[in-house]
Amino acid sequence: MSSDLEKDQLIDSFLSNLRIEKGLSANTIKAYSADCHSFSNWLFVKRASVIQKTDEMDIKLYLKSLHGLNLSHTTINRKLSSLKHFFIFLNKKRYVQHNPVINFPGLKNTKPLPKSLSITDVNMLLNAPDCSSFIGLRDKAMLELMYATGVRISELINLQYTNIDLTRSLIKVMGKGGKERMIPFGDNALSLLTEYIEYRRTNNLSLKSRDFFVSQHGKKMTRQAFWHRVKHYLAISGLSADVSPHTLRHAFATHLLNNGADLRSVQMLLGHSDLSTTQIYTHIAKQRLSDMVKEHHPRG
């Protein structure tokens, strides 16, 4: 067996384990794949070695090379985490004698807080679409629902008619790791969803499609298409161009916490498996309160 073939088989076995036993999403597995192949290629080119012979010096030099690329601590930590899981798997399956990554802690995270939007900014963005057209109505419904529920972009574009309960104002989404959750939404989103459905019925727009949000040609909306629509509305409303669709998810969480929601409830709504992932939003909320005091208090 050639070293290249063996390398690919080891990585493929690891990815299959993530897919079948761990139930991770396709995007997550794709990231693991890229990280493992990147390390394997570096190992072969720079160290003339193979995965089975990896030692701690290899890992140390690899991390040094990543620093040399000026990658963020978040990116380096993700790559390191991928390798840790990879070698845990290899060690468990006895493809390697020991885990060379076990003694390498992650770097201190210097990642800035997620960008959010003020309520005024959100209202400007939500009011940008022209609802007299199908595209404008669909886009406003998507934006309203995303802000009302905090869903991920992938969860939004994958919604089907059967996932929406207008009677109880609930949507059902399939999150990361195949975890299903029910999320309530308010009257504004309900009104837009109802209007959008009625428009599709009246104009006979792809009624046979199970996908809820579709193009004018009845095709399922894509992540890229939605991102282009958001950029269009950012330009119309005069908001920063570095705002992304995901920013509405951050705004959803931040505004809930600012208005008294508890962290555990926000965690459940966002579909975070770990509460520590949600805790970053408490820092955003505290920072906003601090900024508000400085701006409005007479002695701030």
Q: Which pLDDT belongs to residue 130?
A: 94
Cβ burial of 249 (10 Å; 0-12, 13-18, 19+) is buried
Q: Which one-letter DSSP state was computed for residue 133? A: S
Q: Which residue, 92, 109, 138, sits at the end of a domain? A: 92
Q: Which residues are catalytic?
A: 152, 176, 246, 249, 272, 281
Q: Which pLDDT belongs to residue 91?
A: 92
- Report residue 93 as tokens: 């399956």
219 found inside a domain = yes
The CATH number of whichever domain residue 174 belongs to comes to 1.10.443.10
pLDDT band at 134 (very low <50, low <70, confident <90, very high): very high
- Taking the whole predicted model, whether its pTM rises above 0.75 is answered as no
Domain that holds residue 43: 3-92
User: Is residue 144 domain-shared with residue 245, that is, in the same domain?
Assistant: yes
- Report residue 126 as tokens: 């939500």
204 found inside a domain = yes
pLDDT digits (tens, 9 = 90+) for 26-77: 888 999 999 999 999 999 999 888 899 999 999 999 999 998 998 888 888 8
Q: Which of 11-25, 26-40, 113-127 has the lowest mean pLDDT?
A: 113-127
Q: Which pLDDT belongs to residue 23?
A: 81
The CATH number of whichever domain residue 66 belongs to comes to 1.10.150
Distances (CA, A) of 128 to 54, 123, 132, 141, 290: 54, 9, 12, 12, 30
